[in-house]
Amino acid sequence: MKKQFGQHFLADPNILGVIERLAELGPDDVVLEIGPGEGVLTRYLAERVRHVHAVEIDRELEPALRDIAPNVDVVFGDALQLSLPPDATKVVANLPYNVATPLIVESLDGLPNVGLWCVMVQREVADRFFATPGTKDYGAVSVLVQLAAERTGFHPVSRTVFRPPPNVDSALVAFRRTDLPAGYARIKQVVAAAFGHRRKTLPNSLALAGLVSREHAAAALEALGWPENTRAEALAPPEFVALAEELR
């Protein structure tokens, strides 16, 4: 068990049935599992889907994951550095806490064949995914996830299902892909810059990120009906699409 990898292995098999339901597992699915750990979920998935791609960073887990099932391939390495399998149709994983957010964000446009995510994450991360504007949980990841997907399931998870038990609460969250807005890569840039300096106004944040001048950003905001002292958390996800378009 390595603290630097954010490892908390599934120890309660009862949660597997909840994952199966929320992930809507079927025999044609090609699943990407990041952080298989000792393979509890991997084995369960292998019996229910066509293929499992498992990505594990900890080489010491190789004996537990070797020859796990004929329809499972295991790759060892950092999922944030690897080329992830383009044929994956679902992401189903107990995500390592320290990489959950960037992995989800990168998969939204980086894995276009993924149509559904069912992931175990820290409860506060799960709350962020579908937070509403103006709330403390609302941020860049909220905007990007909501522009790409809609939530289909949510299940709070007790600390006791993990070994070792984490110091935080967890949740399973499931969401299904919707159509990515045109120019998503540019929108992603604008969103990241907008929330990069949360205490500053949106024009100042965009200027500090080097994206546009403060004056250009203020004019774009005003064209959308927002005063120049607006902060990023005030805008709903579709308004970031309009802002990115206006900034062009």
Give the type of residue at 111. L
Angle between helices 237-247 and 214-223 (to 10 degrees): 120
Q: Which tens digit of pLDDT belongs to each residue from 115-124?
A: 999 999 999 9
Q: Which region, left, alpha or beta, applies to residue 148 given φ > 0 means left and ψ of -120 to 50 means alpha? A: alpha
Give every CB contact of residue 63 below 8 A, 6+ residues apart in sequence. none
Rounded alpha-carbon distances, angstroms, from residue 198 to 12, 27, 195, 239: 39, 44, 5, 17
- Provide the CA 1 distance to its chain's centre, in angstroms: 23
Q: Looking at the predicted structure, is the pLDDT value of residue 216 above 90?
A: yes
Give the pLDDT band (50/70/90) at residue 11.
Answer: low
* Domains recognised in the chain with CATH numbers: 3-177 (3.40.50.150), 184-247 (1.10.8.100)
Instruction: Name the pLDDT band for 165 (thresholds 50, 70, 90).
Output: low
The reported pLDDT for the residue numbered 198 is 81
